Amino acid sequence: MTIDSVVGGEGARGATASRGALFRAPPARPLVAASILSADFSRLGDECRAVIAAGADAIHVDVMDGHFVPNLSMGPAVCAAVRRAVPGAMIDVHLMVEQPSRFLEPFAKAGADHCTVHREVEEDLPALLAQGHSLGMSMGVAINPDTPATALASIAEPCELMLVMSVHPGYSGQAFIPAVLDKVRSLRARFGASRRIEIDGGVSPANAHSCVEAGVDVVVSASALFGSRDYGATIAALRG
Ligand code: DX5
Ligand code: ZN
């Protein structure tokens, strides 16, 4: 079985000039990426359509392999299903996997606009970023809470986004680690407006303002958003 037979023609989308456009320039206001890890999987299409209709800027797809993180989640077939549910929406894939080079093409074929890989993986980061760019996607590099911001300073191939994890990756619903905001501040000071800074983990209307104030321009939320009654009000509050 090939990836094409898994994602199907409907789920696949060719690379376009606009793919990943949302992360390529500074946004006019903070962006909200809805992490479907806390969505009702039995109604995944409806959940995606609901958060996009309520104002979310992107669907965040958390991919876990049971090795890089102690949990399993979803793969390219789920990404393709999201693409079919919300054909025009930005899909932001967060690869919490070892050997992400094996998965960039399958996710590009499944309709991903953007992929973020972790700095901590034992693969050649510049090569990974170049591979994702050649597939037409924008690319990001994530750092875990214990990884210093300086680990993002000298990667030869530039990326569009830097993801600062504010929980230890693996599960939604964990408590926000405020100390990571110092990393956001130093990355914003170093890179200016040239890159997006995304924060992921434990973000809620209660702490979103401090994230945005520190320099975040893409806020990820799973449990605070999908656990709320009014997606539109929560998304507005998550913009800080
Ligand atoms: C954690 C994932 C996050 C997670 C966020 O490993 O990368 O995207 O879904 O969940 P909340 O917002 O509930 O902390
Ligand atoms: Zn994530």
Q: Is the CB of 172 under 6 A from ligand 1?
A: yes
- Find out if CATH 3.30.420.40 is the number for domain 3-238: no
Q: What is the pLDDT of residue 9?
A: 41
Q: How confident is the model at residue 155 (pLDDT cuts 50, 70, 90)?
A: confident
Which of 208, 201, 203 has the alpha carbon at shortest distance from 237? 208
**pLDDT at 17 > cutoff 80:** no
Ion ligand 2: residues, Cβ under 5 Å? 62, 94, 200
The H-or-E segment that residue 237 falls in is helix 231-238
* DSSP code string of 138-203: EEEEEE-TTS-GGGGTT-SS--SEEEEESS-TT-SSPPP-GGGHHHHHHHHHHHGGGSEEEEESS-
Q: Is the CB of 73 under 6 A from ligand 1?
A: no
Q: At what angle do helices 3-11 and 76-85 cross, to 10 degrees?
A: 10
Q: What is the pLDDT of residue 11?
A: 43
Which of 68, 58, 57, 25 has the alpha carbon at shortest distance from 170? 68
Count Cα atoms within 13 angstroms, Cβ side, for 71: 13
Q: Is the CB of 174 under 6 A from ligand 1?
A: yes
* Mean confidence (pLDDT) of the chain: 93
Q: Which atom of ligand 1 is nearest to the CA of 222?
A: 12
**pLDDT at 3 > cutoff 70:** no
* From 57, 62, 65, 113, active-site residue: 62
Q: What is the pLDDT of residue 104?
A: 98
CA of 104 to the centre of ligand 2 (A): 16
CA of 9 to the centre of ligand 2 (A): 26
Q: Is the CB of 173 under 6 A from ligand 1?
A: yes
* From 65, 92, 200, 217, active-site residue: 200
Gap between the Cα atoms of 240 and 238, Å rounded: 5
Residues 6+ apart with CB under 8 A from 154: none
Delimit the domains of the chain by residue range.
3-238
CA of 172 to the centre of ligand 1 (A): 4
Q: How confident is the model at residue 151 (pLDDT cuts 50, 70, 90)?
A: very high
**pLDDT at 230 > cutoff 90:** yes
Q: What is the pLDDT of residues 186-208, one digit of tens each?
A: 999 999 999 999 999 999 999 99
CB 50 within 8 A of CB 230: no
Q: What is the pLDDT of residues 49-71, one digit of tens each?
A: 999 999 999 999 999 999 999 99
Q: Is the CB of 37 under 6 A from ligand 1?
A: yes
